[in-house]
Each structure stands twice: as structure tokens, then as C-alpha cells.
């Protein structure tokens, strides 16, 4: 199940929740119980190689490393 970040339009509480895509529109604020929430768009992690440690960033040259 995907993780989504939301902010409540009523109380401003920000929260993260695991929810199925089909259930996203039924999410309620855990702080105040209201259903007026907006999804926040956040970054994601991308694993680009099988190296040991370090940062997972795109390889130089515009492509992705690893295999």
C-alpha cells in the first residue's frame, strides 16, 4: 500500500498514512476527525545502484546507474 501525506483543511494538521489508492478520498484527519484533507505532494526515494552505502542519486551523464 502506498504512503500519502495530507494536510487537514480545518485544523492544519499534517499527517502521513498508508492507504489504498481506491480509499484515498475517504481519509479523515486523525487530529480533528474532519474529512476535508488535501494531499501533499512530496519527494520519493529512488534506488539507482547496488553499491555499498552512499547516496542514491542519478548517475552522471543523465542516466541511471546500477543494473
DSSP letter at 52 equals S
In terms of DSSP H, where are the helices of the chain?
Answer: none
Q: Is 25 helix (H, G, I), strand (E, B) or coil?
A: helix
CA distance 55 to 6: 27
pLDDT of residue 67: 47
In 1-67, the DSSP E strands lie at: 3-8, 14-18, 37-40
Judged by DSSP in three states, 26 sits in: helix
For 14-62, the pLDDT digits (tens) are 999 999 989 999 999 999 999 999 999 876 667 776 655 555 555 555 5
pTM to 2 decimal places: 0.60
Domain ranges across the chain: 3-40
DSSP class of residue 8 equals E
Amino acid at each position: 500500500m502506498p504512503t500519502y501525506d495530507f494536510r487537514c483543511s480545518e485544523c492544519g494538521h499534517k499527517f502521513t498514512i498508508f492507504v489504498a489508492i481506491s480509499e484515498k478520498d475517504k481519509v479523515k484527519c486523525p487530529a480533528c476527525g474532519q474529512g476535508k484533507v488535501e494531499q501533499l505532494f512530496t519527494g520519493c526515494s529512488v534506488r539507482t545502484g547496488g553499491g555499498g552505502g552512499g547516496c542514491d542519486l542519478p548517475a552522471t551523464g543523465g542516466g541511471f546507474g546500477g543494473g
